[in-house]
Structure 1
């Protein structure tokens, strides 16, 4: 699930590896592309979060709704991805955007998908090369074969409210979860019954992922006997939720679900309950 900077450096010219730069900023949505154009891992393609990793917004389906599986498969195929290739994703903030690409690639049936541990900051700190050259893709045909990777729609979340056997894990910062501040969405608070685990709790100071045994111990305590299959991850818009989902799977707790609409979809309907504190 993870690749080190040393291992990726050995595969920079390997045609069987396809690299994606997923850098993004929710407050400055053009920043990721600007940074990519300035420098990136040599050979990496840019994966824009607002288009390639998201679908059309309706005003009721959240800030980053999933695109159609076929649309995402076409994006990856345009950049040369096939089922036989290894896909590597990275960003510069500990994997929250890269994990979204990882989850989506697995969602459409790919299995050889990894994150660059520590992302671009670790790559640069280790003295690896960067480039401003934009690679020319060699397109391939990639069909979308939806895997059994699970999604919870908003109706599923509503149905499970109050069910002690189920759990929603909110990946947002604690002050947003508690409803003390909300910089992005019109309503502050959290889904009633949701537990809070800020996705950065999974990271070391250098943005590499913490050891699997530590993560397993902490997630197991949070689950309190629940099965991963009865857990859904959410955040503001279904992005950082993927980082917690990735960490759980890396820790040996596979099978949890993504609530892709997340908080921004939840509060689009004022009839849905909101908790604070």
Structure 2
């Protein structure tokens, strides 16, 4: 698929791109940066989900709000990225955190960007070099405005329930969707009306992306003529479904950044635990 690059292709172009390492663990927030310092793809810069790809959570807005514009663009500038830069993003292997950065770059109109298929695990399996040396690129000055048409808020989601032309999907596991398990939040279940499309289904058992034909089978019931709102726990794994749907040609796809963690911050809003 167009947004993917494999390990050998990246190795051959490594001097022409800027590489971003987004490894992260939700239950161990310092682990990703620790792994980066121990060894990363040569030249890679580190972006943290908590520090660089999200703002600090507040009462509302979810547990991983979109980063402040100046902070995010400052991080791109610090990494030596310009509007013309080709950016290659990777994480451990499943691409969830890489997808968050990919979506953010899309949100700010950055055109040339790829995800390393299979992440650093694929790079290591290809016996390509790893380093612990951290390089400091020449700082740039990245200036751009976000495309606000790509996002919706809690009021939009509430209003969408009255609109037949909108589909809300939830990227979390079916167990969390049904409220049988919830490791991160004080309430369990899903936003009423949401359909479950577990983000891990877009990947093979080896952590590589499925083909377009396979993705078309997974998402085939979704009408491309309708607006599709993506949600998950906090707007991160939903970006995987964004990549899949846009690769299939869906045009009217929007992210609810706050997702379930924002929804449950309003005690008056209902929660469902039955499949829809």
> Which of the five TM-score ranges fits, normalised by the shorter chain?
over 0.9
Unpaired runs of at least 5, structure 1 = none
Asked if residue 234 in structure 1 is aligned to residue 231 in structure 2, the reply is: yes
1:23/1:92 contact within 8 Å kept? yes
Shift of 1:208: 1.0
Instruction: Please name the residue that 1:134 is paired with.
Output: 134
1:94/1:118 contact within 8 Å kept? yes
TM-score by length of 2: 0.95
Asked if residue 260 in structure 1 is aligned to residue 257 in structure 2, the reply is: yes
31-40 vs 158-167, which moves further: 158-167
1:216/1:252 contact within 8 Å kept? no
Q: Residues 242-253 of structure 1: matches in 2 within 5 Å?
A: 242-253=239-250
2:13 to 4, 11, 35: 11
The SS at the match of 2:15 is coil
- How far does the alpha carbon of each residue in 1:67-109 deviate from its partner, in whole angstroms, 9 at most, with x for none? 1223211110111100111111111141110000000011112
| Number of residue pairs the alignment of both structures matches | 272
CA RMSD across the alignment: 1.3
Alpha-carbon distance in 2 for matches of 1:175, 1:226:
27
Segments of 4+ moved more than 4 angstroms: none
Alpha-carbon distance in 1 for matches of 2:123, 2:59:
38
Shift of 1:148: 6.2
2:224/2:250 contact within 8 Å kept? no
Q: Residues 64-213 of structure 1: matches in 2 within 5 Å?
A: 64-147=64-147, 150-213=150-213
2:224/2:251 contact within 8 Å kept? no
1:42/1:131 contact within 8 Å kept? yes
Alpha-carbon distance in 1 for matches of 2:19, 2:5:
12
Unpaired runs of at least 5, structure 2 = none
Alpha-carbon distance in 1 for matches of 2:49, 2:122:
21
Alpha-carbon distance in 1 for matches of 2:149, 2:5:
22
